[in-house]
Structure 1
Amino acid sequence: MESINDPNMSKGFTMEMEKIHNTQLKAFGEIVDQTTELCQSHREFVKSALDTCLKKCKDDEMLFDTIQTFKRDIVQTRASLKAKTHAVSERIFEIEQKEMQKEDIIPKIDKLKEEQVKRKELILSQHKANKVRLKNLQKARGVFQDHLGMEIRTISGKTQLVKGEKLQFVFRNIKPSDLNSAYIITLGINQDGSYQVVSSDPALECLPVLQSQLQKTNKLPTFLANVRKEFISLARC
């Protein structure tokens, strides 16, 4: 009891208690500081993790949108490619058809060229023949006009039978009672260069025979002489 009541003992105990209390306070303060630091560090870690997660989510969303865009582009590209492939196939088919037509047309063109050459040769031949006919006509004209009173006229055709220029032969000195009376025969030239009787005035029943002989012999003076004879025989009936 004396020791407890000893003032020195009580003072020492109190000091020891204060020392222990201060030590505990210091340790508690350190713990509080460490806890505060840990909390702050945890907050920063959580905030950083949250920011990272948010950024990752945004990146994932952008990536998803990009993937969807790529998918749409792929679908459009496939559709466009399919349409282009179909168009190319149709174009190839058209080219093949044109090649087949070309193979058919080339022989036709060659045939047309051959026919054109033949027509050209025929035209040249007809031209030469027409020159000969013209020369013969000029000779016959002098003979018939000077000695037999025949007139040769050039007229334009208006009938469907023979188109183009025609030659009209007017005979006079046929009828003894009327020497100026005109007996007329009109000739045309067919595409093949042969003569064709268009008309006669007055009409002669033997004209088809005379025309056939003319087309066979191509001798116009002989034909005109025979026509004149027929006109004379008709005038004397």
Structure 2
Amino acid sequence: MASITDPNMSDRFTSAMEETHNKQLQTYEEIIDMTTDLCQSHRQFVKSAHDTCLKKCKDDEMLFETIQTFKSDLVQQNVSLKGKRHALSEMISEIQQKEMQKDDIIQKIEKLKEEQARRKEFIHSQNKTNKDRLRNLQKARGVFQDHLGMEMRTILGKTQLVKGEKLQFVFRNINPSDQDSAYVVTMGIKEDGSYQIVSSDPGLECLPVLESRLQETNNLAAFLANVRKEFISQARC
């Protein structure tokens, strides 16, 4: 160990102090540079974080606006869907009503077909009956006209009792004192095919009875014969 009284000791100490000071200064510089780098890095980090946060906020705002738009669209869609459901319900109800009307119309058509078939059958039956009646009339006309001087006429109805054509039977050779004097009975045919006596000239009190018997027997020749008898009986009184 050097003696403290060594004249070079002060220089060496000073040199050592300067060297130590320089090292500390260098260390401080390194610390300052490191601190500066750290500050710069921190500022860059903070700026990056700030930019990131701003971008995140904008993205969140856009997302929020999108969510609000979706909510508004959803509300409108719900309103539209509710209206469509109501319209669909009314349409279904209308279709059901039309189906019921269709079934009712089909039933009515079936009834009309059945009624038409019955009418057709009735008309066929009436035609047959009328043909039979026509044959009877022609037969009776031949008998009475040839042998008893009876004349048969077809006239148009003028009363509300019987509408359409009517038959008029004119009897002669009734009154011995006036062979040409006409005795007339007028009759028609109802819708059901039955005979209907309209009038007689001169009037016969028993005409309703004769008409009733005609309805039961459907024998026109016998009816005309009885009418002639009544006219003869009345003319001789």
Taking structure 2 as the reference length, what is the TM-score of the superposition?
A: 0.70
Give the one of 54, 65, 70 matched to 2:58. Answer: 54
The CA deviation at 1:186 is 0.6
After superposition, residues 170-189 of structure 1 pair within 5 angstroms as 170-189=170-189
The CA deviation at 1:199 is 0.9
Write the letter of the residue equivalent to 2:47: R
RMSD: 4.3
Local SS of the residue matching 1:203 = coil
Moved more, 79-88 or 196-205: 79-88
Distance verdict in 2 for CA 1:36–1:81, change over 3 Å: same
Q: Which runs of 5+ in 1 are unaligned?
A: none
Give the match for residue 206 of structure 1.
206
The CA deviation at 1:171 is 1.7
Q: Matches of 1:67 and 1:199 in 2, distance apart?
A: 94
Local SS of the residue matching 2:170 = strand
Q: Matches of 1:46 and 1:177 in 2, distance apart?
A: 148
Q: Matches of 1:179 and 1:29 in 2, distance apart?
A: 168
| Paired residues, number | 224
The CA deviation at 1:131 is 2.1
Does 1:152 find its partner at 2:158? no
Give the match for residue 49 of structure 2.
45
The CA deviation at 1:156 is 2.4
The CA deviation at 1:168 is 0.7
After superposition, residues 70-109 of structure 1 pair within 5 angstroms as 70-74=74-78, 76-77=80-81, 80-81=84-85, 84=88, 88=92, 90=93, 109=111
Q: Which runs of 5+ in 2 are unaligned?
A: 1-6
Query: Sequence identity, in percent?
Result: 48
The CA deviation at 1:77 is 3.5
Distance verdict in 2 for CA 1:140–1:79, change over 3 Å: closer
1:81-132 per-residue CA deviation (whole Å, 9 max, x = no partner) reads: 47746865x5797599779979xx59x949x83x766655544444333222
Local SS of the residue matching 1:179 = coil
Local SS of the residue matching 1:191 = coil
Give the match for residue 3 of structure 2.
none
Local SS of the residue matching 2:199 = strand
Q: Matches of 2:144 and 2:188 in 1, distance apart?
A: 19
Q: Matches of 1:116 and 1:37 in 2, distance apart?
A: 107
1:147-179 per-residue CA deviation (whole Å, 9 max, x = no partner) reads: 322211112223222223211111223334443
After superposition, residues 99-138 of structure 1 pair within 5 angstroms as 109=111, 113=114, 120-138=120-138
Distance verdict in 2 for CA 1:153–1:38, change over 3 Å: same
The CA deviation at 1:76 is 5.0
Give the match for residue 165 of structure 1.
165
Q: Matches of 1:202 and 1:43 in 2, distance apart?
A: 137
